[in-house]
Structure formats: C-alpha cells, structure tokens
C-alpha cells in the first residue's frame, strides 16, 4: 500500500518543497509524513488535502492503514 500523502503529492505533481510551502510546514514534517513516522497527519497538511478536494477523513484512514502495514513489514524482518 502506498502512503496516501505521497500518492496525492505525485498525482498533483507537487515537488517536496512545494508541498512544504503549501502546507506551511517544515521539510522535516513533510519527510516524517511521507515516511510514515508521524502517528497522525498534521492539521496543516489536512487543510491542504481538503483544499485539493480530497476527503481528509479517508486520507487519515488510509494513512493509518499504511502505517500499520509498514510496521508489520518492519517487524517481519
């Protein structure tokens, strides 16, 4: 399963820096979201997701599923 934030970033053709600027967050924050190391999606990123006509609640669910799958992968090594 792909990280839904990364998927949106790629669908919209945003660079890493553009996503940082749009959300008004640091590069570190975006990196943590793209890697799945954040427990939940920041409100600023959810605001941008909603402005792009994505359902923030759906994206949150997909992000949690992505994180759970990622953790299972890491634990099965």
**pTM of this prediction?**
0.88
The pLDDT assigned to 45 comes to: 96
Measured CA to CA, the distance from residue 38 to residue 61 in angstroms comes to: 14
* 47: pLDDT strictly greater than 90: yes
Per the prediction, the chain carries an average pLDDT of 94
Considering the four listed CATH numbers 3.30.70.1340, 3.40.50.1100, 1.10.260.40, 1.10.10.10, the one that applies to the domain covering 4-75 is: 1.10.260.40
Domain boundaries, the chain: 4-75
* Listed residue (2, 52, 1) closest to 22, CA to CA: 52
The pLDDT assigned to 1 comes to: 82
> What separation in angstroms does the CA of 73 have from each of 2, 41, 58, 59?
13, 21, 23, 21
Measured CA to CA, the distance from residue 43 to residue 73 in angstroms comes to: 27
The pLDDT assigned to 74 comes to: 87
The pLDDT assigned to 40 comes to: 94
């Amino acid at each position: 399963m792909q990280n839904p934030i990364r998927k949106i970033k790629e669908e919209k053709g945003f660079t890493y820096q553009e996503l940082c600027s749009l959300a008004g967050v640091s590069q570190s924050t975006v990196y943590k979201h793209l890697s799945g190391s954040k427990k939940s999606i920041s409100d600023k990123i959810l605001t941008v997701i909603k402005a792009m006509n994505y359902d923030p609640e759906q994206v949150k669910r997909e992000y949690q599923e992505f994180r759970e799958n990622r953790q299972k992968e890491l634990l099965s090594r």
